[in-house]
C-alpha cells in the first residue's frame, strides 16, 4: 500500500490536470492543494513502509483520504469527464465506497505483524 501512495502522489506532479478537473470550483488554490496532497501521499506512503512509523502514517493517510473524499463526490455528482473509463458515471459512483476500503487497508497494513485484533 505504501508503494501505491508513493506512485499516486507522484502522479499529482506528472499529471496535475486530471486532479484539477476533480476540484470543485469553490476550492481556493486548487493547484497548490494538488501538490500538497501529492507530497502528503508520497510521505505517507514512505512512512507506511517503515515499521516504526506505519501506524502514524496510516492515521495521517486516513485523514487525507477523508479530506479528499468531497472531490470524489463532486466528480460523481457532476459526472466530471476525466477520460476513458474514469468518465463513466458508473465508475465514478462505484469508486466512492472504495475510499473507505482504502481507509481500512491503510489501517490494516499498519497493524503489527502477528496482531489479529
Residue 64 neighbours by CB under 8 Å, 6+ apart: 37, 40, 41, 44
Asked whether residue 116 is assigned to any structural domain, the reply reads no
Asked whether residue 48 is assigned to any structural domain, the reply reads yes
Q: What is the pLDDT along the chain (117 residues), one digit of tens a residue?
A: 899 999 999 999 999 998 999 999 899 999 999 999 999 999 999 999 998 999 999 999 999 999 999 999 999 999 888 888 778 888 899 989 999 998 998 888 887 655 555
Asked whether residue 80 is assigned to any structural domain, the reply reads yes
The whole domain housing 71 covers 2-109
Q: In whole angstroms, what is the distance from residue 94 CA to residue 47 CA?
A: 29
pLDDT at 38: 97
Q: What is the pTM of this model?
A: 0.84
Asked whether residue 69 is assigned to any structural domain, the reply reads yes
- What total of structural domains would you count in the chain? 1
The answer to whether the beta carbons of residues 31 and 16 sit under 8 Å apart is yes
Asked whether residue 98 is assigned to any structural domain, the reply reads yes
Closest CA to 45 of 5, 103, 7: 5
Q: In whole angstroms, what is the distance from residue 31 CA to residue 89 CA?
A: 25
Asked whether residue 77 is assigned to any structural domain, the reply reads yes
Amino acid at each position: 500500500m505504501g508503494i501505491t501512495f508513493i506512485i499516486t502522489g507522484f502522479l499529482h506532479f506528472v499529471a496535475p490536470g486530471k486532479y484539477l478537473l476533480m476540484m470543485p470550483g469553490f476550492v481556493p488554490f486548487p493547484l497548490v492543494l494538488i501538490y500538497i496532497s501529492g507530497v502528503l501521499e508520497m510521505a505517507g506512503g514512505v512512512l507506511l513502509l517503515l515499521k516504526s512509523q506505519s501506524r502514524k502514517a496510516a492515521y495521517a493517510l486516513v485523514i487525507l483520504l477523508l479530506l479528499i473524499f468531497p472531490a470524489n463526490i463532486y466528480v460523481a455528482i457532476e459526472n466530471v469527464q476525466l477520460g476513458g473509463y474514469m468518465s463513466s458515471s458508473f465508475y465514478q459512483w462505484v469508486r466512492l465506497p472504495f475510499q473507505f476500503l482504502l481507509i481500512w487497508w491503510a489501517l490494516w497494513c499498519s497493524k503489527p505483524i502477528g496482531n489479529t485484533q
